[in-house]
Amino acid sequence: MPHPIIAVEDVSKTYDGFKAITNLTFYLYEGELRTVIGPNGAGKSTFFDLISGRAKPDQGKIDFGAETAASHDLTALNEYEINRLGIGRKFQTPSVYSEHTVWDNLVLSLKGPRGVFASLLRRLSSTERDRLDEILKLIRLDAKRPWKAGLLAHGEKQWLEIGMLLAQDPKVLLVDEPAAGMTDDETHRTGELLLSLAGKHSLIVVEHDMGFVKQIARDGQVTVLHQGTVLCEGKFDDVQADPKVREVYLGRGKHGTR
Amino acid sequence: MSLLAPRTLSPTRSRVEVIAVGVIAVGLIIVLPLLNSAEVISNFHLNLWGKYLCYALLAISVDLLWGYTGLLSLGQALFFALGGYMHGMYLMRMIGDLGQHKKPIPDFLVFLGWTELPAFWIPFSSFSFAFAMVLLIPGIIAYVFGFLAFRSRIKGVYFSILTQALTYGTSLMFFRNNLLMGGNNGFTDFKFILGYDLLSPVTQRGLFVITALVLVATYVGCRWLSRTKFGLVQQAIRDGENRVLFSGYATAHYKLFVFVLAALIASIGGALYVPQVGIINPSEMTPEKSLEAVVWVAVGGRGTLVGPILGAISINALKSYATRAFPDLWLIILGGLFVFMVLFLPGGIVSIPGRLKAIWQKMRGTRPPPPDSSTRPAIPLRSEPEVVTSKS
């Protein structure tokens, strides 16, 4: 059994009486690509908020730890401390720095010291430049490096944000709806890219597009969230065939969403 | 020049900028004072320009926060006034016993019934001590205020209101006589600085040259800063603080650094202002003064370094003229100008050449160049929606 890199145990989170997450338990193993699906309001984004430090759970444990390194209690850390441990996040709506060039967006994300005084004297090494060039080619924005990111098309912004995530070289990538607003071809390429990252990195991908989920899940695990807790977990085909999942998605049961 | 890049400013463009800044610097530091000593420019006008340059320092400090970091401080004149007060204390001591009461302590203290100097006034007889306080007092206040505000993640309009409350509260304190800082009359009647006669044209010319040097150095320093990685982070905080936070940067530390730096620039501006204008009183730290500085930046063009300087000089030149020519209409002119700029020229004065160029190209029917940041405009006044992140 591989080592869990992220262990979420019995976590609950309430916003003004609304139970966003209830007794959720979830393990992500090293090198795994996990797909998380669920209807609107199932708690997917809150789930990411809890792991990345944007929200604190009311109860429960969230631990991060590679097999070879000490484990960290993520509930005691804030956003940037969690990021520095090696957990990167891509937001649902592409969040790039619109007034910065594509290149500068990547420079800002590049792995390295993050302190105020380090940033005053920081220069890129040639290895780092090569690394950024490589990422630019991979995300196919090589020709647009001097463009302001705000001028990119929606799909290109998504790719840029993925590139920014790659530049950070995190151990765990939290990817929220990477294919939103992309053409079929772009979606497919995004899937290929995410698949190529698995193994070296561990990924959690939240997605709505079932074709895309099928592509990236392959025979890995899919987690279905519903009303803030895990409804079921399993291979894509099994999950798809599960009557409980069909119920929440197709709205036959009393808890169903449209 | 940044080495982070392939930068997008073309070499010819930055060469033009270096030449332009060089010419203006030489003009301010050498030509204007020479013309003054040749009596082409009157002492009155040189002194007026000295005042404008001090205001330009205040404007840069506002823009460093507002234009570059997205922190709208409505209390920046506080630091300007504090710098002025710290330097003013030294100048008050240099009056010696030449005041109206012919006593070795400042007149207002004699008036309040003091016969000897209060303890905290004693070290201000030393210029170096006063100079250190010009940096330390505003620096410490900015650090403590910034630390608390940024740690609690106070931002947007709440931050602006707090800065305004800070300057307002401090001004109320300085209006009180028992603070022993001159009450509502403040400090005036200065006579000497470092042994030189403050009222002589030569001393005033020297002060002007120093002010111009400080302004040019501040410009160059901020220019350098904006092109380091620090500058990139700073501007990223303005456009999407969440993303910066989730990229591993402690944004509060960056904001604190900028806030303290801006306070120091404003304070030095104030310290240079007082000996040239000859008076400092608590009205310099009322909220209106800070708001005025924000208008200078908006009119000049925020998010650029040239903009605030242009704005501070042009609005104050206009003010000097209009308050003499139409004293009753000045505030209406200022308000009208602000509304006009927001509606029709949100990029400020600095965006005029770019706009003219665009119109010219349109008339000739040529296509504009591809949209990269070599045609980087100033940030418009209207704020863009912040990068919204999802919430299920």
Q: What is the pLDDT of residue A67?
A: 67
Is 90 exceeded by the pLDDT of residue B153? yes
**Reported confidence tier of residue B303, pLDDT bands at 50, 70, 90:** very high
pLDDT tens figures, B24-42? 999 999 999 999 999 999 9
Is B230 in Cβ contact with A120 (below 8 Å)? Answer: yes
Across the A/B interface, how many CB contacts are shorter than 8 Å? 132
**How far is B371 from chain A, CA to nearest CA, in Å?**
7
Question: How far apart, in whole angstroms, are the C-alpha atoms of residue B122 and residue B167?
Answer: 26
The answer to whether the beta carbons of residues A228 and A20 sit under 8 Å apart is: yes
pLDDT tens figures, B325-371? 998 998 898 889 888 988 999 899 999 988 898 888 888 876 655 55
Of B236, B245, B373, the CB nearest to A79: B245
Q: What is the pLDDT of residue A248?
A: 82
Residues in B closer than 8 angstroms to A109, CB to CB, are: 247
The answer to whether the beta carbons of residues A80 and B249 sit under 8 Å apart is: yes
Per the structure, the count of domains in chain B is 1
The DSSP H or E segment spanning A45 is helix A44-52
pLDDT tens figures, B93-114? 999 999 999 999 999 999 999 9
Q: What is the pLDDT of residue A65?
A: 85
**How far is A237 from chain B, CA to nearest CA, in Å?**
26
Is A41 in Cβ contact with B388 (below 8 Å)? Answer: no
Is A145 in Cβ contact with B225 (below 8 Å)? Answer: no
Predicted ipTM? Answer: 0.89
Question: How far apart, in whole angstroms, are the C-alpha atoms of residue B302 and residue A183?
Answer: 38
Question: How far apart, in whole angstroms, are the C-alpha atoms of residue A238 and residue A221?
Answer: 10
Is 60 exceeded by the pLDDT of residue B259? yes
Is B245 in Cβ contact with A108 (below 8 Å)? Answer: no
The encoded tokens of residue B206 equal 């020297």
Q: Give the chain A residue whose CA is nearest to the CA of B227.
A: A120
Is 80 exceeded by the pLDDT of residue B4? no
Q: Is residue B10 part of a domain?
A: no
Q: Please name the residue that has the structure tokens 């709505």.
A: A208
Per DSSP, the residues of A113-144 read ---HHHHHS----HHHHHHHHHHHHHTT-GGG
The CATH number of domain A4-250, selected from 3.20.20.450, 3.30.1120.10, 3.40.50.300, 3.50.50.60: 3.40.50.300
> Domain-by-domain residue ranges, chain A?
4-250
Please name the residue ranges forming H helices in chain B: 11-26, 32-37, 43-69, 76-93, 107-111, 127-151, 156-175, 201-226, 229-245, 251-277, 287-300, 306-325, 330-344, 352-364
Q: What is the pLDDT of residue A1?
A: 59
Q: Give the chain A residue whose CA is nearest to the CA of B239.
A: A97
Question: How far apart, in whole angstroms, are the C-alpha atoms of residue A181 and residue A154?
Answer: 6
Q: Is residue B349 part of a domain?
A: yes
CB-side neighbour CA atoms (13 Å) of B47:
15
**Reported confidence tier of residue B180, pLDDT bands at 50, 70, 90:** very high
Q: Please name the residue that has the structure tokens 């929220």.
A: A176
Which residue type does A255 have? Answer: H
Is 90 exceeded by the pLDDT of residue B59? yes
CA A222 from centroid of its chain's CA atoms: 14
| Strand A72-73 with A87-90, pairing | unpaired
Is 60 exceeded by the pLDDT of residue B150? yes
Q: What is the pLDDT of residue A94?
A: 84
| Strand A87-90 with A172-176, pairing | parallel
Q: Is residue B369 part of a domain?
A: no
The encoded tokens of residue A157 equal 């912004």
Q: Give the chain A residue whose CA is nearest to the CA of B369.
A: A147
Classify burial at A68, counting beta carbons within 10 Å of its beta carbon; exposed 0-12, middle 13-18, buried 19 or more.
exposed
Question: How far apart, in whole angstroms, are the C-alpha atoms of residue A144 and residue A157?
Answer: 12
CB-side neighbour CA atoms (13 Å) of B379:
26
Q: What is the pLDDT of residue A122?
A: 83
Residues in B closer than 8 angstroms to A51, CB to CB, are: none
The CA–CA distances, whole Å, from B6 to A102, A144, B2, B345 equal 11, 12, 9, 31
**Rg value, chain A, Cα:** 19
Q: What is the pLDDT of residue B382?
A: 41
Q: What is the pLDDT of residue B300?
A: 94
**How far is A129 from chain B, CA to nearest CA, in Å?**
9
Coil, strand or helix at A176: strand
Cα–Cα nearest to A216, from A162, A171, A172, A178: A178
| Segment B278-283 mean pLDDT | 96
Q: What is the pLDDT of residue B253?
A: 97
Share of chain B above pLDDT 90, in %: 78
Q: What is the pLDDT of residue B362?
A: 87
CB-side neighbour CA atoms (13 Å) of B338:
14
**Reported confidence tier of residue B14, pLDDT bands at 50, 70, 90:** confident
Q: What is the pLDDT of residue B389?
A: 41
Q: Report yes or no on whether pTM surpasses 0.95.
A: no
Q: Which of A232-241, B187-196, B257-266 has the lowest mean pLDDT?
A: A232-241
pLDDT tens figures, A193-247? 999 999 899 999 998 888 899 999 988 899 999 999 999 999 999 998 898 888 8
Classify burial at B370, counting beta carbons within 10 Å of its beta carbon; exposed 0-12, middle 13-18, buried 19 or more.
exposed
Q: Is residue B3 part of a domain?
A: no
Is A176 in Cβ contact with B230 (below 8 Å)? Answer: no
Question: How far apart, in whole angstroms, are the C-alpha atoms of residue B385 and residue B388?
Answer: 8
Question: How far apart, in whole angstroms, are the C-alpha atoms of residue A110 and residue A89?
Answer: 14
The DSSP H or E segment spanning A28 is strand A18-29
Q: Residues of chain A whose pLDDT is less than 50?
A: 253-258
The encoded tokens of residue B195 equal 């042994």
The CA–CA distances, whole Å, from B356 to A81, B21, B80, B323, B352 equal 47, 22, 36, 31, 6
Domain containing B116: what range?
15-364
Is A43 in Cβ contact with B3 (below 8 Å)? Answer: no
Average pLDDT, chain B: 89
